[in-house]
Structure 1
Amino acid sequence: MKQAQGYKTIMEKWVELQQGYELEDSMRKLEVKDICDLYEIWCFIKVKNIVQDVMKELGKDA
């Protein structure tokens, strides 16, 4: 089968399918986060982006 035409495509699709199943299993294992924790993470990301933008304006890539 390894030498048959189309084997590579079949294997690539099989790997994609397996990864999809693994991702789905991982998503089921995700836990519910507290809204306070999510807000803190969101604030951190926003502040990081603001500082990064200011540094770029000053000509100092962060």
Structure 2
Amino acid sequence: MAQNQIQLQKGLSLQQFLADYGTEEQCEQALERWRWPHWFICPHCGHQHEPVRLRTRALLQ
């Protein structure tokens, strides 16, 4: 029987994953760090500021 290589790769344990990304807020913060490592810079005016959170549609813009 073939082994699932995805399951056998080294990485986070379930406990560590839940500690790092267990809440929606933790996930949003991680996504922001990955998407904008040097903070958000407006593509139109070049102003550097915090991204606007659209809670009605659960989008980050």
TM-score by length of 2: 0.29
Q: Which has the larger Rg? A: 1
